[in-house]
Homo-oligomer: A and B are copies of this chain.
């Protein structure tokens, strides 16, 4: 049976959601973040990088959210959650699968990093670290994030879902950056189309079944 190596509060929540949407049987092997938020070293026994998500299925070990989605949709989808080949929607689908991690997440990672740096610095130098981090945020990170959020808002003004009028696995892939941006990146009521999209995906029964099985997911709840 397909096994999801699931780290709490992580990108692997998307994989549970996809499997629930497809009614594909799976089992969950659970891993808990350490106090420093890093993944526990047990995950390295599954994949050398020791990150989540990873799935194992039929002797295959597959990492990277986008590659996992391609594998599951290709193996268990029977044409569901993916637009037909040779359509504009399929091009958009493939684009968002890559964009979510390749372009959307890096500025969100920087936002998290520069926001946490002052808290983790020794008290004596904390004001200095805070000054440096604030400079990076206002000078570079926040304008980048705004560019992406404006872009999502514009794209979600063209159709109800990222690949077009239909909900696809590209929406599952894009959920993590939009939820992270809502939690810590400034994606608020100034972005009504993005807010409406978040409400639409959060209303899906499969999304909520996956939350129940995955356990607390603070990124999605914020």
Contacts and interface: CB of A to CB of B under 8 A. Distances in A.
Interface stretch (A16-24, A128-136, A184-192): A128-136
Interface residues of A, number: 43
A157 interface: no
Interface of A: 48-51, 60, 62-67, 70-71, 88, 91, 94-95, 97-99, 101-103, 105-106, 109-110, 113, 117, 121, 125, 128-129, 131-133, 135-136, 147-148, 150-151, 154
Contacts of A102: 64-66, 101-102, 105
Given A49-B147, A70-B94, A125-B128, 5 more contacts: A48-B151, A63-B99, A97-B98, A132-B132, A132-B133
A121 B140 CA distance: 13
Nearest to A107: B109
Given A94-B71, A98-B98, A64 B113 contact: no
Central interface residue in A95, A102, A148, by most chain B CB within 10 Å: A102
A67 B51 contact: no
Contacts of A113: 110, 136
